[in-house]
Chain A
Amino acid sequence: MAAQSPSTRLLETAEKISQGAEAKIYRAQLHPSSSHGDQAVEQILLKYRFHKQYRHPSLDASLTKSRVAGEARALIRCLRSGVNVPGIRMVDAAEGILGIEWIDGKSVRFLLGGGAEGEEEIEETTDEPQEDVPPEEDTLQEYGISQDALMGLIGTEIAKMHQADIIHGDLTTSNMMLRHPSTRKGLQLVLIDFGLAYTSTLVEDKAVDLYVLERAFSSTHPESEPLFAGVMKAYETKMGKDWAPISRRLDDVRLRGRKRSMVG
């Protein structure tokens, strides 16, 4: 076995983009340009589940391997079911690295201007001349899609995923991206980060998946109830007859949820 894994060496030359609790994200070019040097080679995103010091080493090794494997399997199931997800480009489970297609675009969270990023803009009144269009609206305009239409895309995509009995496990607006219309595949809503995904036919699991998204919406994007309603409308349309049981379950889950006790 090589002293230093090739994937580790690849990471050294890659551009670090962000770091979460679970993984470091890099941008890299896996395959070199050819000797002919004609076309541009596509970039990929490398998700590196780094060694966690707080875990026992053997547990860390096996957990990392199974997370990478689980994410890859969820992605391939989605691809086969027609759900928009990034394609897989390289898997090195032993090192905890997953290479996926680079999505040229922005996260839905960014485009809706949620959380800390958008706080300043929200207080502006409409009396302000010319500059009264919030920056986040501008970016969405650049993509040529309205917020309502975007909600429709989200609802449709999640419905496709649930119809394939795939539960995302971490549905938030940060885990959805909008591919820029100028790219080869064009404007597309892409679901990302399937690290916590699993397969289930249970209505309960689908309802919880939706509830997680509902809570994420309300905590990240203030006054977003109408937006989420738009997501649900599109989800309902796409699901067809399967919507009713999920809808009932979702109501139950809402009653059950955190900080819902009627006790004083």
Chain B
Amino acid sequence: MQSFHYPHLPSEYSNVHVALFTDVTNSAEIRSRIVRAAQLEGPDGETEREAVSFAFLDARLICSLLHLQTAVYQAILAQVQGTIRTKTVHSEILWALNPTNNISEAIRRYGVADTTAALIVVRICSPELENVEQLMRTVVSGKLSPLDGLADITDWSSVKKYYKLNGEPALKAVAKDPARERALVEEIVTSSVAMKSVMA
């Protein structure tokens, strides 16, 4: 797990913890926990919501750490400025990652599904919260892996499909060089995530 501290962000959102879990076995359970946590009321609901208060992302759709950080940052910015579209800053990350405005679609595409094998787990919190890695391990049954492994997991054809990049002139120009094409896709996707708030 890696942790990032943003000194210029308000304290309650200034720490970002990111972890990559591979060989996840309990994706279905995580998903039903999230659904149940949203429905439960009272103090039990509070504790359950707190226990799953993370962004659970399908690691195959994240192009790079920068791509992820860009989405996280825009989500925090929306929360701080009061322009947030979803219920929490964690769900806002999923919205930021999706090219369209449809929230359900974002959760369906980028969130945890019953069959998800590799998960990126993100927690946005204040520096006061400790043992975040432990909190993550409690929820996710999988292998905690170094983030550099992310590059091998990316499903580039799905990324291209969701961002409608398959006929794009820019990609036609670099079609012969897979490394350059991937770099270009990452650039377009990251830039799109960054400017989504002003997309027409």
Contact between B170 and A87 (Cβ–Cβ < 8 Å)? Answer: no
Which B residues lie within 8 Å of A35 (CB)?
2-4
Known A-B contacts A1-B80, A6-B10, A10-B8; A88 and B169 likewise in contact (beta carbons under 8 Å): no
Contact between A79 and B73 (Cβ–Cβ < 8 Å)? Answer: no
Contact between A31 and B69 (Cβ–Cβ < 8 Å)? Answer: yes
B28 interface contact, C-beta 8 A:
no
Contact between B168 and A80 (Cβ–Cβ < 8 Å)? Answer: yes
Contact between A90 and B3 (Cβ–Cβ < 8 Å)? Answer: no
Which single member of B6, B7, B9, B191 contacts A76 (CB below 8 Å)?
B191
Complexed CA–CA distance, A76 and B187 (Å): 10
Contact between A2 and B80 (Cβ–Cβ < 8 Å)? Answer: yes
Which A residues lie within 8 Å of B199 (CB)?
73, 76
Known A-B contacts A35-B3, A79-B188; A91 and B194 likewise in contact (beta carbons under 8 Å): yes
Known A-B contacts A34-B2, A35-B3, A90-B73; A73 and B170 likewise in contact (beta carbons under 8 Å): no
CB distance from B164 to the nearest CB of A (A): 9
Which single member of A5, A12, A94, A164 contacts B169 (CB below 8 Å)?
A164
Complexed CA–CA distance, A88 and B67 (Å): 11
CB distance from A187 to the nearest CB of B (A): 14
Contact between A90 and B194 (Cβ–Cβ < 8 Å)? Answer: yes
Which B residues lie within 8 Å of A23 (CB)?
none
Which A residues lie within 8 Å of B6 (CB)?
6, 31-32
Contact between A31 and B4 (Cβ–Cβ < 8 Å)? Answer: yes
- Considering only residues 26-56 of chain B, those with a C-beta below 8 Å from chain A are none
CB distance from A12 to the nearest CB of B (A): 8
B116 interface contact, C-beta 8 A:
no
A92 interface contact, C-beta 8 A:
yes
B129 interface contact, C-beta 8 A:
no
A36 interface contact, C-beta 8 A:
yes
Q: Residues 61-96 of chain A: 1 if any B CB is under 8 Å from the residue's CB, otherwise 0?
A: 000000011001101100111100001111111100
CB distance from A1 to the nearest CB of B (A): 5
Residues of A within 8 A of B (CB-CB), count: 37
A212 interface contact, C-beta 8 A:
no
CB distance from B55 to the nearest CB of A (A): 16
The total number of A-B Cβ pairs within 8 Å is 106
Residue on B nearest A85 in the bound complex, by CB = B191
Contact between B74 and A1 (Cβ–Cβ < 8 Å)? Answer: no
Residue on B nearest A95 in the bound complex, by CB = B81
Residue on A nearest B1 in the bound complex, by CB = A35
CB distance from B88 to the nearest CB of A (A): 17
Which A residues lie within 8 Å of B91 (CB)?
none
Q: Residues 32-55 of chain A: 1 if any B CB is under 8 Å from the residue's CB, otherwise 0?
A: 101110000010000000000000
- Considering only residues 14-31 of chain A, those with a C-beta below 8 Å from chain B are 30-31
A99 interface contact, C-beta 8 A:
yes
Residue on A nearest B73 in the bound complex, by CB = A90
Contact between A9 and B2 (Cβ–Cβ < 8 Å)? Answer: no
Complexed CA–CA distance, A69 and B165 (Å): 22
Known A-B contacts A32-B5, A82-B170, A90-B70; A75 and B191 likewise in contact (beta carbons under 8 Å): yes
Residue on A nearest B192 in the bound complex, by CB = A76
Known A-B contacts A91-B197, A164-B169; A80 and B3 likewise in contact (beta carbons under 8 Å): no
CB distance from A31 to the nearest CB of B (A): 5
Q: Residues 106-149 of chain B: 1 if any A CB is under 8 Å from the residue's CB, otherwise 0?
A: 00000000000000000000000000000000000000000000
Which B residues lie within 8 Å of A94 (CB)?
81, 83
Which A residues lie within 8 Å of B190 (CB)?
87-89
Which A residues lie within 8 Å of B83 (CB)?
94
A13 interface contact, C-beta 8 A:
yes
B178 interface contact, C-beta 8 A:
no
Complexed CA–CA distance, A34 and B6 (Å): 11
Write the residues of chain B forming the contact surface with A, with a CB cutoff of 8 angstroms: 2-10, 66, 69-70, 73-74, 76-77, 80-83, 165, 168-174, 183, 187-188, 190-192, 194-195, 197-200
Write the residues of chain A forming the contact surface with B, with a CB cutoff of 8 angstroms: 1-2, 5-7, 9-10, 12-13, 30-32, 34-36, 42, 68-69, 72-73, 75-76, 79-82, 87-94, 99, 164, 185
> 9 A-B contacts, Cβ less than 8 Å apart?
A6-B9, A7-B77, A10-B8, A73-B199, A75-B191, A80-B168, A87-B190, A88-B190, A90-B77
Additional pairs, 9, CB under 8 Å, beyond known A2-B80, A82-B171: A1-B81, A2-B81, A6-B80, A9-B8, A34-B4, A42-B66, A82-B174, A88-B190, A89-B191
